[in-house]
Amino acid sequence: MDDTVLLTGAKGSVGTAIREGLADEYDWRYLFHNPPPFEPDHPYLVGDVTDESLVAEACEDVGAIIHLAGDPRRDAPWDSVLENNIHGTKVLYDAAIEADVEKFVFASSNHAVGHFETDRKPNLYRVDDDFMLDGTELPRPGNHYGISKATGEIIGRYYHDEYGIDVCNIRIGNLTREHPPIDYERGQAMWLSYRDCAQIHACALEAEYEYEIVYGISDNDRKYYSLARAKEVLGYEPQDNSAEWDGDEKIV
């Protein structure tokens, strides 16, 4: 990807993993909701993803978008996810189409399928359980935030079919800079390390596809999200595994 890449929500945890892991790999343009508490190494804009004129400016001469912006709270109220997550995603897609952007990588979430866990926990978090989600299942959101992420996937489906933009939805797991506590079974099952987070987004920028839903976790022994599609379509090769960590120390 030689063209400029727009990264929205660049100050959040996923945005930080991407900025740190891929800082020199792409010609970035960042969109921050608030002024960043540091001086970015690439050009940036500040404002709401619902601001049509700002978003249109952000998309000018952009080849691809990684869209992370929105209300990230899993207990976010409906009015907020409706405006910031659902409407904001639609505004960005409109601007992307107007600017002839070729590729749109959408940060979906484990919360888009949260209720698959309801009747199966805690067993599905364990190595000996064979339940697996692969991205072909219908969404089962676990909260309003999950509804907004499932809706974002559907918005992308429409814009791909209607306008031909390539779309990759990454259902991101439990991203932490350090490993989650060893007694947190769910966190271990859906753990995504910072370097694997950066890598899967780089793969989504480089791979050829039309419309995809993949899971974004590290290659954990405990997992109920299949990585088969991410590996096959994106060429994702995760480096980390929650079973190889004890607390914050890697087992060597």
Q: Tell me the helices (H) and strands (E) count for the chain, helix number first.
A: 8, 11
Lowest model confidence (mean pLDDT) among 27-31, 58-62, 98-102, 183-187: 183-187
Strands 166-172 and 103-109, by their bridges, are parallel
- Is 158 an annotated catalytic residue? no
Query: If phi over 0 gives left and psi between -120 and 50 gives alpha, with beta otherwise, what is residue 37?
Result: alpha
Alpha carbons 79 and 202: distance in angstroms, whole number: 32
Helices (H), 99-232: 144-163, 185-189, 194-206, 228-229
250 pLDDT higher than 60: no
Determine the Cα angle at 89 with ends 214 and 148, to 5°.
65
246 pLDDT higher than 90: no
pTM value is 0.95
Residue 71 corresponds to which tokens in the numbers above? 């209300």
The DSSP secondary-structure symbol of 94 reads H
Question: Over pLDDT 70: what percentage of the chain?
Answer: 97
pLDDT for res 252 = 37
**What is the chain's mean pLDDT, rounded?**
94
pLDDT for res 144 = 97
Give the pLDDT band of residue 82 (cuts 50, 70, 90): very high
What number does CATH give the domain 4-250? 3.40.50.720
User: Whose CA is closest to 73, among 84, 58, 87?
Assistant: 84
18 in Cβ contact with 197 (< 8 Å): yes
Give the active site residue among 145, 159, 224, 236. 145
150: Cβ–Cβ under 8 A, 6 or more apart, which residues? Answer: 108, 112, 139, 141
Give the pLDDT band of residue 225 (cuts 50, 70, 90): very high
Compute the average pLDDT of residues 7-33: 96
Compute the average pLDDT of residues 221-241: 97
pLDDT for res 248 = 55
